[in-house]
Structure formats: C-alpha cells, structure tokens
Structure 1
Amino acid sequence: RLDLRLETVVGDRGVRMSGGERQRIALARALLRKPSLLILDEATSALDWQNQSLIARSIDGLRGAMTILTIAHRPSMIAFADWVVAMEDGRVVEVGQYQRLKAKPGSRLSRMLSGEQSETEPADVA
C-alpha cells in the first residue's frame, strides 16, 4: 500500500488508511528521524489496546536515547514515565515522579489508575 515507502502521502490526499494505521506510520516516521525530543500527543488514541501496548513498550525501550514528552489519557501510555504532570482546565494540578504519585493515596494519578475518576472529571496527564 505504500508505493513510495515512508514518503507515501497518507490520509485524505493520499493512500486511504485507518486512523490507527496513520498513527503508526506517523510514529515510525518520527522515530526514524532519531530526534533528541519526541512529543507524543495522544499518539495511540486510534489504536486498539494490543497495538497500544506494543507501542508503549517500544517507547519505554527508548528510555535514555531521547527525551519523550507524552500527552495521554490512557494509563498504559504513561506507565513508563519518569515524571507526571496532571492538568485540569489548562492548569497544572499535580507534578511528581510516576511511582511516588501512583503510591500516594488521593493523587490524581492514583485515582485515575484505580478508575475512581469520573467521565466528567478528565485529567490530562503528560
């Protein structure tokens, strides 16, 4: 399907692909550039949990090779994070090391991980 390999245009003006396929291609293109800083904004939102898990483990494998800023709502995408910044209504409400916030009762992260957060109370976690 990718006649021009990584240079193939995907999306509305190119090869028609699903959202998940486009996300995987975009991530592959970004990783091939070997950036010193990689920003992932909901990078797996269109993927099923199996592909998301594979990508999360791959990203974890890049630890030390580059700085990765991950913006995500799904716990599996932040499980490898060293630091977490939780935001609400555009404001920072919590900052800390992942493991400490996870273990801290009542923290935004621990509530999100335990499923206590309601649909009307989303936390943007980066």
Structure 2
Amino acid sequence: MIYILKPFFYPNTIERILNQLGRSFQVKHKEDFPVAHQINYYFIINTPQNIFWDGMNVAKAIRQRDNTGLLILIDEAPDYQVCFRSHLSFLAVLTPHQAQTELKEYLQNSPLHEKAVSILLIS
C-alpha cells in the first residue's frame, strides 16, 4: 500500500510521478490511515509555509502505528539533522526536485512494483 500524506492544497506531483511509471493505481482519499500488514510506503509532504501541517508530527504518528513502514519525507528545505535526530528511520528525505527523479527508482526497485497497488491520499 502506498500512502501520500500531504496538506489538502498541495499539488499532486507525487501522483503524477506514480502515473508515469506506466501502472494504473487505485486512488482513495481518506483522513486517516489504516495499518495494513504488508509493505507500506508513506510519502509525507512537509511544507514549512503551512502552519497547520507538520510533516514531522505526521511521521511520528505513523511510526507509532507502523514500525516497519517505509517513510519518505519530501520537504522543500529539509533539515537533515532534525530528521536524523528524530529517530524515525526515514528511507529517504528528498526535496520536491529530487523526488521527481528518485521516487521512480524507489518504486521500480520495490516489491510493490509487481503487485496491484492502492494509493491513499491523506489530507
């Protein structure tokens, strides 16, 4: 399962990147995420301009519910030291520009690439 956690008005860049992989995805919009007992990828958008959305707190909440989930933080100005000191075990911390090139590689090398995948958008 792939989860995209982002502020409501954030552009759908990750969805576009996923669609470029040439796979059809089932997209669902939810306000909370269930913990599935499978490999879960969480794409967490952190936007410093939005004071109502804190991607680090979202990542902490996910980590409390899913210890084995793969967290990928996408931040316009990532503070790598804060990410490291948070002990949340991010798979990657990327800028939006890096995400456009590297997300395809992460997903093509993942076990999810061969399976039917659902995407949950959490706002």
Mark yes or no: TM-score above 0.5. Answer: no
TM-score w.r.t. length of structure 1 = 0.32
Q: Could you tell me the TM-score, scaled by structure 2's length?
A: 0.32
Greater C-alpha radius of gyration: 1
Q: Which has the higher strand share?
A: 2
Higher relative contact order, chain-length normalized (CA < 8 Å, sep 6+)? 2
